[in-house]
Amino acid sequence: MREIVKKVQINIPFTMLWDKYSGEFLKRGLNPEIGIDAAALERFTRQEFGDMAAQLLSRGLTITVHGPFMDMSAGSPDPVVRAATRHRFEQLLDLIPLFKPKTVVCHAGYEWKRYGYVREEWLENCIDTWRWLGDGIQAAGSRLMLENVYEQGPEEMQILFERLSEQDVGFCLDTGHQAAFSRTSLTDWLDTLGRFLGQLHLHDNRGDGDGHLALGRGRIDFETFFKQLKSMMKAPPVITLEPHEADALEPSLAYLERIWPWN
């Protein structure tokens, strides 16, 4: 087994973990980042979530969780939409004591094309939502991370981390999203938000879409990125690999093992 396996998380939707991949994760000792989406929340009972969590934790695996994101809008100017978003996050929060995750990742969710003209209102609503969720996650012994998706640059997220310092909300930098959707370089993202960085989502693409390719199969310069990261951090943040195809996992592990800069 590759030594790097012990140092990273591997993303897996809960439904896929339950239906097909739990045996492989347990057998290989893969640390999961478990996606809890609406389909899982509708299908599974709290007991079933707890049974899976107990199996993983009994093997000494580290767990991180990815919260629901489809149609979630923490800063929506529509109170009904915000209420629906909070409902899903309440369901998520109820599961945190079962999984005991190191981190809980949610999408920050800012899109200038949708919210640019109501940015101040969006920010205030958003901060209120994340403050509530961050407090709950922190009380459960975990840490909320906000991830970039369609944000064009780090300044669109910076105020969130500055105003959520009491909740210790961290930044989850998604390299694939940055390459596909941002208009700002990866170096600039690190320079601006590096002090808040607590997690990485690693996957590659060719800049023309969110391809979730194996590391080294796209255009992202991970070697330069990790050199900059090493100069900023004595120890690695939480790192999650996000292969969307099973055959992308091994190449990603091998690539990451080769460029890993920390002892």
pLDDT of residue 245: 86
pLDDT of residue 263: 83
Computed over its alpha carbons, how large is the radius of gyration of the chain? 18
pLDDT of residue 4: 96
Instruction: Write the burial class of residue 27 (CB in 10 Å: 0-12 exposed, 13-18 middle, 19+ buried).
Output: exposed
Tell me the percentage of the chain whose pLDDT exceeds 70. 100
Over residues 22-33, the mean pLDDT reads 97
Angle at CA of residue 75, ends 164 and 193, nearest 5°: 40
Cβ–Cβ under 8 Å, residues 261 and 227: yes
The model's pTM is: 0.97
Estimate the share of the chain in helix, then strand, then coil, as percent rounded to the nearest 5.
55, 15, 30
d(CA 234, CA 62) in angstroms, rounded, equals 21
Q: Over the stretch 162-220, which tens digit does the pLDDT of each residue have?
A: 999 999 999 999 999 999 999 999 999 999 999 999 999 999 999 899 999 999 999 99
Phi, psi of 108, deg, nearest 5: -60, -40
pLDDT of residue 170: 98
Residue 1 has pLDDT above 70, yes or no: no
pLDDT of residue 149: 98
DSSP 124-167: HHHHHHHHHHHHHHHHTT--EEEE-SS-SSTHHHHHHHHHTGGG
Over residues 1-29, the mean pLDDT reads 95
Residue 2 has pLDDT above 90, yes or no: no
Q: Which domains does the chain have, with CATH numbers?
A: 78-94+101-259 (3.20.20.150)
- Identify which of 191, 116, 96, 185 has the alpha carbon closest to the alpha carbon of residue 156: 116
pLDDT of residue 246: 87
pLDDT of residue 91: 98
